[in-house]
Structure 1
Amino acid sequence: MKTASVKKKIKVSTPTSSGACAIVVLFHPDAAFGCRLQKILTQFSSVILVDNTPKGAPLTNLPSSVKVLRNDRNLGIAAALNQGVDLAIEKGHEWVATFDQDSEILPGYLEDVVSISARRTPTPVLVGCNYLHDGDTKVAHRAPHQVTDAWVRQTLITSGTFMPACFAREIGGFREDYFIDSVDHEFCLRAHRHGAEILMTVQPFMRHRMGNAGTSLFGLTLSLQHQATRRYYLARNTILTLRQHGTTYPFWAARQIFRLIGEGFAIAFIESDKAPKICAFTRGLWHGLIGRSGPLERI
């Protein structure tokens, strides 16, 4: 899929629970993934697993409602999501929900996102799932006062997002040249520019692990102890997204610039292995500024 640059008005069909498909991207899934998959299957009649694990062991004892796409190498999160969306459309599914392998779906998820989406169609809508941090009972995002079902957001995380599949493909899909990181932010901003509403459920319907431990700085969550490669992608793809969408979404852009400053501060003064991370982070900033993208071969 290639990135669309021209804004188009796109109408979508009304979703149903029976016609929805779950897409889960895998990369070295842990032993508990089978249990999380079973919880997805209690709500979805069709699941697509896209496995990016190089030479990974085949998944066994799966029901016929689960289709597995295996890649012989790690193609990145965006390419895997696009593969899942394409297969879902091929199988006749009009709406899809995307999940990370370590997210645990909670009861009521599908019913809620279908209900929220159905009230907005034929306008395209992306409905993200509020969530509980793994091992915590605190809701990740507090809804505005008196909002009962969903509220407007500028961006959503990939995991738990419900969307019309053909709309996702028509606007260009997920940016494969990003490989990982900021794929979800860029997709949401582009979807909004094509007329989609971006919403999040008030109630948490997922337990989600947000990668490495983080700290909060003036309301922004900063990731700590990422490897140098992730530091590169985080910096580069944030700059690439700012270049494409920053003037249209200045408030979002200001927060991202401030977050980058905070991430640089964290690397320099808090984290271990400073030298390779500083090198990767600054290289990512530079590559973003000159418009370089694609998978990184080495730091």
Structure 2
Amino acid sequence: MNYAIAYVVYNPTVEQIERINEISFGHPVYVYDNSETISELPYNKDIVLVRNGRNDGIAVGLNILLETASGDGRSHIITMDQDSLIDDHFIKKLISLAGVDDREIIVAPMHHTGDITYDKDLVGKSSQKLYVLTTMTSGNLLNVQFAIDVGKFEEKYFIDYVDHEFCLRANRKGYKVVISKDLKMEHSLGHSEQKFSLLSLEFVPTFHAPVRRIYMTRNRSDVWRKYFAIYPRWVLRDFMRFNKELLGIVVFEDNKLIKVYSIVAGFYLFIMNRWGKAELRYLVNGAKK
């Protein structure tokens, strides 16, 4: 298979760049670096690096890496974020799963995140696979030409819900999003560290920064609007997840007022049809951290 591992990063740590460099010694690697400053540790010279000195958001980065892969004649990319860990065994196992079904646009691992159950989003299954409506971006084997046919990733979102919107759109066009039962990947959402219980409900607070709450609220609102008529159960489940997140913020997280304000700001931006990077005037009292 003619593949490449595609990272979209933002202010990566020295350790994260070292891991990317290490992977590049055995596999072709593309990196889209959204950092405004240049890290002291350089990337391996064999890495295909795109860096503009500004933060363009994850969707722009993914789309440019898709176009780069297509221009290089690659059939697939493995989409990665800087936090996730992979090794040679994971990569070889993942690429071995491609090509079984000619409508599979994504083959993903089981992401272990603490509180997401993929069975709720099932549209089908086999002995080794789950066919789902959505999955997260990291660790996915993505068919390059199928992704271009779907329309690539939604750049107006900047960050958050880019993966879910893409997967829903792909399903709508008849492509399949597949999770392998044999492949697992640990993934953290925000700074989730422990579970709490309240009124028989279990909470795993993510402690996302207020600015992330702006993007999450604005973008998920657009996903609800676009897909409620097509996938009402998915949208209703995400709406219930939003309410549970809001309750978790109020009860368990710090900076409650700022985060609630950020959620209101996200709804406002959605209603006003304002997209891309959030304007600084919405990031008050430390919300831009």
TM-score class, shorter:
0.7 to 0.9
Deviations 1:223-270 (A, max 9, x none): 432221111111111111111112211111111100111122122222
Question: Among residues 28, 32, 41, which one is paired with 1:50 in the alignment?
Answer: 32
Compute the displacement of 1:124 (Å).
3.8
Q: Relative contact order (alpha carbons < 8 A, sep ≥ 6): 1 or 2 greater? A: 1
Question: Among residues 52, 55, 64, which one is paired with 1:74 in the alignment?
Answer: 55
Q: TM-score, normalised by structure 1?
A: 0.82
Deviations 1:28-62 (A, max 9, x none): 11122144325533663x11011000022265261
Q: TM-score, normalised by structure 2?
A: 0.84
Question: Among residues 156, 168, 171, which one is paired with 1:189 in the alignment?
Answer: 168
Letter in 1 for 2:68: L
CA change 1:63–1:130 in 2 (3 A) is farther
- Given that residues 78 and 183 in structure 1 are in contact (C-alpha distance below 8 angstroms), is that contact kept between their aligned partners in structure 2? yes
CA change 1:139–1:231 in 2 (3 A) is closer
Unaligned runs of 5+ in 2: 283-289
1:12 corresponding residue in structure 2:
none
Q: Does 1:130 align with 2:110?
A: yes
Unaligned runs of 5+ in 1: 1-15
Q: Does 1:117 align with 2:98?
A: yes
User: Residue 118 of structure 1 aligns to a residue in which SS?
Assistant: coil
Letter in 1 for 2:168: L
- Given that residues 4 and 76 in structure 2 are in contact (C-alpha distance below 8 angstroms), is that contact kept between their aligned partners in structure 1? yes
2:265 corresponding residue in structure 1:
283
Between the aligned residues of both structures, percent identity stands at 27
1:88 corresponding residue in structure 2:
69
Alpha-carbon distance between aligned partners in 1 of 2:203 and 2:231, rounded to the nearest angstrom: 20
Deviations 1:110-143 (A, max 9, x none): 333333321102x24211122456xxxx997688
Aligned length: 274
2:19 corresponding residue in structure 1:
36
Backbone CA RMSD of aligned residues? 2.7
Q: Does 1:174 align with 2:153?
A: yes
CA change 1:285–1:220 in 2 (3 A) is farther
Q: Does 1:206 align with 2:189?
A: no
Alpha-carbon distance between aligned partners in 1 of 2:201 and 2:179, rounded to the nearest angstrom: 19
CA change 1:291–1:125 in 2 (3 A) is same
1:254 corresponding residue in structure 2:
236
Compute the displacement of 1:206 (Å).
3.2
